[in-house]
Amino acid sequence: MKAIKMFGLAALAALMAMAFVGASAAMAESTQLCSGDPSGAGCGTPVSHVHETTLSGAQAKLLTSIVNVSCDVLFLGDTGGLGAPLTITGKFTYSNCGNCTVEEVGGGVEIEVLKLGHETADVIGEGEVHVNCSGLNCTYNGEGLLGTGKGPLLSSETNGSVTITEQVAKKVSGLFCPSTSKLDITVTPLSATYIGS
């Protein structure tokens, strides 16, 4: 699995590549993102390009013992079609971070989405993000971040959502950095994205 930025994974997790992590691959179903309700006659048009963003007024947050960092997050990625799990490759972009800069480290991220049931999936990924602001100049790894994805039929957001709540991001490098910090993020796709198979 390729690197997913901490926020990225979160974002990505939030990424309508909506998913939950939890069941074993043997119990999970093939996964496909759909433009239409997959419980009817098919999937509509399969979604091949994913565009997700944090909610207005609800920035992603990296919670540390030194300073909390809040940013708007945008994820752009492409799906691998149908898979168990479905693979999404893409990139996270961070903006409006106050006096901080946040950047994805490496050449992009890879996220795995594994359908667990009706409109639910696990979103798993890992990667690195560099955070630089007053008192904090650190690189964190989001390995093992687990996102919960819901399609439009179950999400409180119109187009679906991916949420990561207080998941631990581990320090990779930097001086005087907390050894662990926590990530909170919810992302939603720009258009309705259902979880099908």
What residues does each domain of the chain span? 6-196
pLDDT tens for each residue of 130-164: 999 987 899 998 787 899 999 999 999 999 999 99
Q: What distances in angstroms separate CA 73 from CA 51, 120, 124, one per listed residue? A: 11, 22, 17
Instruction: Classify 179 in phi/psi space as left (phi over 0), alpha (psi -120 to 50) or beta.
Output: alpha
CA 137 to chain CA centroid, nearest Å: 23
Q: Which residue, chain included where needed, has tokens 């699995």?
A: 1
Q: How far is CA 151 from CA 40, 106, 195, in A?
A: 14, 30, 6
pTM metric for this prediction: 0.82
Task: Determine the residue type at 81.
Answer: G
49-54 vs 180-189, strand pairing mode:
antiparallel
Sequential pLDDT tens for the chain (197 residues): 333 333 433 333 333 333 333 333 445 578 999 998 887 667 878 999 999 999 989 999 999 888 899 999 999 999 988 899 999 999 999 999 999 999 999 878 889 999 998 899 999 987 789 999 987 899 998 787 899 999 999 999 999 999 999 999 989 999 888 888 999 999 999 999 999 88
